[in-house]
Structure 1
Amino acid sequence: MALAACSGGNSSNSGTETPSASPVAANKSNVEVTLVSFAVTKAAHEAIIPKFVEKWKQEHNQTVTFKQSYGGSGSQTRAVIDGLEADVVHLALAGDTQKIQKAGLIEPGWEKEVPNNGIVSKSVAAIVTREGNPKSIKTWTDLAKDGVKLITADPKTSGVAKWNFLALWNSAIKTGGDDAKATEFVSKVYNNVPLLTKDAREATDAFFKQGQGDALINYENEIVLAKQKGEKVNYIVPDVNISIDNPIAVVDKNVDKHGTREVAEAFVKYLYTPEAQQEFAKLGFRPVDETVAQTKEVKDKFPNVKTLGTVQDYGGWSEIDKKFFAEGGVFDKIQAQKKR
């Protein structure tokens, strides 16, 4: 079983290699754009990029090539801050984009420069079970039962693991619980986690390749893509869920250095078009474009979620990180009290 995950860096190039673009890139016949993204978007971008390249060539008579890098959102964020000269970043959570902004590479207000507050792809959380679902796991609450082993990554090191934690917390809050009840519930679930893996790829491997655990939390889009590739995956999309929102941004300092601002901004805007959103939907992401979201094909593909929480419900990523994931936060307290 080889579900891709939000980890494991790799790079690939689309089209012919070109030298690094200079500030006069707009006047050249060729221009190179560096896209840095989190791993699970690779298939979607590889379908979308050729369409954009063709459109740009027709409209501007200029050949665009893309240097692409895919890996865990946290590690990709660090790489950009440490000198990977991305023109465009598409990351798993806005908190990562904000870190690049704080490093002085992205100007404040990036989320207002494009539609939907910068969110270009969406998913929800799904629970993957063993074939036949022998532990009868149907909802989030079942993950807290005695004798159920859950595989998930460590939110201290993994972006997807932060979403997993929020999905669990949100399920308690949205069904009438307060912070105390949510803490109690999430503590029970994490008592059922035998080992926190470093990232989502390790969690996926532990579940499928090593046979550990009764359940795994993963992105819905991962599972849809795995099924399209012929994998047999048993899963549930709980009807109380969290909206997993993935932002896109132009890296201002780098596009100005490379002279690629015009084409980078055009590519980002193109990702919001129905044509590009259809490609995201085909590969398992819930589209942000309403015209695409309302099509019969998309409605049939994605189960309806009755109660969908958002990051904004919990004060945004700055507040979430401070409350849950900072040193001494809720997650640390849960781990400290965990049964040994």
Structure 2
Amino acid sequence: MVDWDFAVSLASRIAGDGPDTTSAEAAAVVAELREGAARSTGLVRDFTGLVAPEDTAPVLVVDRAGWVQANADGFARILEPIIEKLAARKGVPQGLSSAIGSRVTGAEIGFLLGFLGSKVLGQFDPFHDPAGRLLLVAPNVVHVQREISADPHDFRLWVCLHEETHRVQFTANPWLRGHLTDLMQSMADAIEPRAFLEEGPRKIGEIIRGDTSIVEILSSPEQREVLDRVTGVMSLLEGHADVVMDGVGPSVIPSVESIRASFNQRRGGVGTLDRILRRLLGLDAKMAQYREGAVFVRHVVDKVGMTEFNTVWSGPDTLPSRAEILDPDAWIARVL
């Protein structure tokens, strides 16, 4: 149902190669990102108290095409149960119909990956066996650093701090990977594809205005319940990483305040088309996750300290719900 090879080929063309660099400059960036990730492990541990085992979840510095391929592989794993369910419900198309359908879905996924592949600085992939992997996208780091006129060395370490925090979150708490996998399966079990056909055309205006996203339109009531749980988890992870960046930053990154200010401005999108695409794909909601999650983490840490906050990593039952992300005191009352 998905032509993954076509998706990767299209996405790689859309993403492009990135900024021009000399071979020496590219090699230096790759080396510094690897060094920054390794250095960040201890910085994250000292600030958060989370201890990640050694030699788990490798760090890979990749180009845009490498990021596209890695995420296509990840999408294939995540979508497999959904595709199987759709195939069982609709029957598996044959011949020309099958080829055209798989090409169309491949194009849709290829466009998504191509758009994101030119923007993502780094990403922890928790679904890669056996314990996940961290991807740092070198050309995008260079592109954004130049775009916001940041100090190259400060910016690279700043990016590494955020992404390494995600690696530590998952490797210090290995149950988290299985929990997210279970949530993805629950989404698949509750899928109702007719919702998009019935609601999508009438809600295009809401999507463009940013009042909703394609993801929310696709969600049945059962899926929305699971989506709320996923949103709570992702808000925690992203907000926690932002707090670590800002907490550790001043001691090791002299220009951290300038970088944060410029980067926050850039997060809103750099042009009309970019902003529309972000709304369509629900990326504006992701930006809200950073903000709301960071407020949650700071409030709890300020009130009870980092050690008590780390109770959040005990298991699924201690994770905040979407409502608790917006009301940290409710989480404190329930869990602590």
Q: Which has the higher strand share?
A: 1
Q: Which has the higher contact order (CA 8 A, sep 6+)?
A: 1
